[in-house]
A and B are shown apart, each in its own frame.
Chain A
Amino acid sequence: MDAETTPRLTLTVTPGSLSRFLPLLGQGFTVQRPAGASVEGFLCRACGIARDYLRERVQTVFLNGKAIDDLAAAMVNDGSTIALSAAMPGLAGAVLRKGGAYAAMRRQISHAGPGDSRAGGPVSVTIKLFNLVARELGPGFLEQGVLIHGASLQDFFRRQDRGFGKIGRAADIDGRPVDFEKVPEIIPGNRLVLLALRPAGPHPG
């Protein structure tokens, strides 16, 4: 493993077990894309999320921990955190929902409006996918590869119940095969790791 470049960890997982990794996406992963975009532009153009999906399915959007109503107006900056959730139950769900009748109840934690955003160079943005949004968009992101801090990955692997190893068929780091069970010990805990999942075929060879 090169000390400078970001290691790419590829896990081949059994069919149906990809969902075990979805809670990781709720902790957040890093996306590096060109600057100068609104939240909507960033998510649709840079991350490939369909506009209709964003408008209809995603009911609550946080930018830096503040619920936003106008995704086209709020700007993404270097270091921003964007979190996406489907509709939530209860009063809290209603209050946090974009453009909802109860938005007044969160008046102090609403994002004020557009911020300045440097055009040009790339920005690093943390994306968090919650609940049904993680289920629906997560597999695509995970197969494409997501940047996650090594320490979070180590912790995630260590917390899994015994038998977790069974969900993986194979693992490699930068193309070199490694023992699936030993992954938490091998990955670096002090920097970002590019995690990519590859679903194994239904009939292992």
Chain B
Amino acid sequence: MDKILRINMGAAGGPQVKSESVGSYAGLGGRALTSTIIAKEVPPLCHPLGEDNKLVIAPGLLSGSAAAMSGRISVGCKSPLTGGIKESNAGGMASQMLGRLGVAAIVLEGKPKEGMLYKLSISKDKVEIKPDNSLKMLGNYAVAEKMKAAHGDKVSCISIGQAGEMKLTGASIAFTDMEFRPTRHAGRGGVGAVMGSKGVKVIVVDDTGCPVRSPKDPGKFKEANQNWVAGLRKHAVTGQGLPTYGTNVLTNVINEAGAYPTKNFMWGRFDTCSKISGETQAETENARGGEGSATHGCHRGCVIRCSGTFYDKDGHYLTKQPEYETVWAHGGNCGIDDIDAIAMLDRLDDDFGLDTIEMGAAIGVAMEAGLIQFGDAQGAINLVKEVGQGTPLGRVLGSGAGLTGRVFGVERVPVVKNQALPAYDPRGIQGMGVTYATSTQGADHTAGYAVTANVLGVGGKVNPLKAEGQIELSRNLQIATTAIDATGMCLFIAFAILDQPETFQALLDLINAFTGAKMTGDDVTALGKNILKLEREFNHKAGFTKEQDRLPDFFKKEKLPPHNLTFLVKDSELDQVYNW
């Protein structure tokens, strides 16, 4: 990948496209590239929706190659939700295609004339940006259909729905999947609002005529890829658990641990969670049948295939298999135990272009405020529809849990840096709380990569029985997470590389055979640290202090049943996370 496409939306005479070489950004991909560009080029104090912010879309380091699992795509900007730096990543087809087109990043910059909406098309021979106001206030599904009609089904789309156009801070960016459905989202941090502020409704990516990216050492690459795939296939999580149940396999287990945030974080258990568990979801999907029902990949090249397709009771396609975080946010967090209603909420979120976690959390807060009752599935569906319609109430909810709490005077608002907490109560799993509090991203659950920390030996070996272990672990986790984010690999590789050293080696071999580098585990660690440092510095300059590295007060004061625990990690301990 040798070029960066810069689209200056504010150029005199209309948006201008410039293709430039990667230059000093060479060798970076995914989060490493998005965060480096943002840290270097965006003034930390700028308005996130203003002309100085930039939206960076970057495929992973190995995207576009034959490496399995390499098709994640990162989106970076200054977040309108948190006010800090943001990286949010997704699956879908665009990453592999951009990789094949040789595009290391698309950078949207400047600000267009008010009221104009654009379509950006990228193919082997040209990059074109044209106004297209016929797309105004269309949902992501309608946009995808229009693009398919215009360009055929071999292209892929990156788009925003109504929420992004309205610049709501809960807005996501959608990426089409293998079936040309806009089901894969860079959800967190309001990245869709930034795309909306740039006036870009859709980016059509067409890699026709572009070959698969070739590795520096094809022989070694092929061998490493075989070992890599074999390692993923033989592990119980990546080879069996995830393909069979998807991420929602966590519902029963987290609930049993008493760490399943229920009814806006009031309880740690949801009595009827088995109705929405991964086990129930998979059996329902299998019984209803249909193409790709319970086991399906979100992009070509995935060998784990944790996703699936959700058909309604009559066998009609409704949405992709909702993920654990979505099922929790719209389910247990709102007291809703109807899997069909949750799937409908997922569909609406995807169509309007909304982060499912932020929306579920906002509705949970609204329920606590008495707007509707906990458990009212139809009421929740109506509220999400209000967001799509852009009613004043809908705009409040679509701006996230933090704003909803302020508007309705709710004290129990589960946000860090104004971003909603995901599906693990930090009073139940305390170490998770350390990561939520101190992450550069706001409360973030993608510490799934985290388990790699042990393999990488980041920060030395940790004695798990020492109390301070939680701080050390969280630090290691964040470094490792950041490093693997840069490779563009899907987060679910984590277990296989933790348990099987030969699989971790296969991953390093894969990267090295492809890039020609001689990366070791230590280099990966150093990369993770560097990125985190850049992100921390950006946040610091944007006005963040250690006071933002805190969980909301109620976690320290309210005991969470059934284990009746508060969050016990001291502020002074939290302040040690970045002392490495």
Contact A106 B429 (CB under 8 A): yes
Chain A contacts for B306, CB-based, 8 A: 89
Q: Which residue in A22, A65, A101 is a CB contact (below 8 Å) of B279?
A: A22
Residues of chain A lying within 8 A (CB to CB) of residue B491: 90
Interface flag for A109 (CB, 8 Å): yes
Closest residue to A152 on the B side, CB-wise? B274
In chain A, positions 93-123 with a C-beta closer than 8 Å to chain B are 93-96, 100-109
User: Per-residue 0/1 for B221-258: is the Cβ within 8 Å of any A Cβ (1 yes, 0 no)?
Assistant: 00000000000000111101110110101101110111
Distance in angstroms between the alpha carbons of A132 and B244 in the assembled complex: 8
Inter-subunit contact B494/A89 (CB<8 Å): yes
Q: Shortest distance in angstroms between B313's beta carbon and chain A's nearest beta carbon? A: 5
| B464 CB–A CB distance under 8 Å | yes
Q: Tell which of B240, B250, B287 touches A161, judged by Cβ atoms closer than 8 Å.
A: B287
Tell me if A88 and B253 are in contact (CB < 8 A): yes
In the complex, per-residue mask of A16-45: 1 if CB is within 8 Å of any chain B CB, else 0: 000110111011000000000000000000
* B470 contact from A87, A107, A135, Cβ within 8 A: A107
For this complex, into which size category does the number of interface residues on chain B fall?
35 or more
Interface positions, chain B 475-491, Cβ under 8 Å from A, are 477, 491
Please report the C-alpha to C-alpha distance between residue A108 and residue B567 in the assembled complex, in whole angstroms. Answer: 10
Bound-complex Cα distance A95 to B451 (A): 9
Residues of A within 8 A of B445 (CB): 90-91
A197: Cβ under 8 A from any B Cβ? no
Measured in the bound complex, the distance between the Cα atoms of B256 and A51 in whole Å is 23
Interface string of B284-304 (1 = CB under 8 A from A): 101110000000000000000
- Interface size bucket, A side? 35 or more
Q: Does residue A180 face the partner (Cβ distance < 8 Å to B)?
A: no
Q: Is the CB of A95 within 8 A of B431?
A: yes
* B464 and A103 form a contact (CB under 8 A): yes
Q: How far is the CA of A62 from the CA of B466 in the complex (A)?
A: 22
With both chains docked as a complex, state the minimum distance between the C-beta of A92 and any C-beta of chain B, in angstroms: 6
A128 proximity list for chain B (CB < 8 A)? 252, 256
B454 proximal to A (CB < 8 A):
yes
| Subset of 16 A-B contacts with CB under 8 Å | A27-B274, A65-B269, A65-B563, A86-B241, A88-B249, A88-B250, A89-B247, A92-B424, A93-B253, A102-B473, A105-B474, A108-B565, A109-B259, A128-B252, A131-B249, A132-B244
Q: Are A65 and B253 in contact, CB atoms less than 8 angstroms apart?
A: no
Top 7 A-B residue pairs of the complex, sorted by shortest distance between their CB atoms: A105-B431, A104-B469, A90-B448, A104-B464, A23-B280, A94-B451, A87-B236
Question: Chain A: residues with CB nearer than 8 A to chain B?
Answer: 19-20, 22-24, 26-27, 57, 59-60, 62, 65-67, 83, 85-96, 100-109, 128, 130-132, 134-135, 159, 161-162
Give the complex CA separation of A162 and B462 in angstroms: 53
- The answer to whether B495 touches A67 (Cβ under 8 A) is no
Contact yes or no, A161 B313, CB < 8 A:
yes
Specify which chain A residues have a CB less than 8 angstroms from the CB of B15 in the assembled complex: none
The reply to whether B492 and A89 contact each other, CB–CB distance below 8 Å, is: yes
| CB atoms of B256 and A83 under 8 A apart | yes
Q: Chain A contacts of B253 at CB under 8 A?
A: 60, 83, 85, 88, 92-93, 96, 130-131
Known contacts A109-B428, A131-B252, A161-B287, A87 near B469 by CB under 8 Å: no
Residues of A within 8 A of B431 (CB): 95, 102, 104-106
| CB neighbours of A20 from chain B (8 A) | 283, 287
* B450/A131 in contact, CB under 8 A: no
**Cβ B241 vs Cβ A132 within 8 A:** yes
* Contact string against A for B residues 540-580, beta-carbon threshold 8 Å, 1 for contact and 0 otherwise: 00000000000000000000001101001000000000000
- B494 & A131 in contact (Cβ 8 Å cutoff): no
Give Cα A128 to B258, complex, Å: 14
Kindly supply a per-residue 1/0 record for chain B positions 457-468, scoring 1 wherever the CB is within 8 Å of any chain A CB and 0 otherwise: 000001111110
Is the pair B283, A22 in contact by a Cβ cutoff of 8 Å? yes
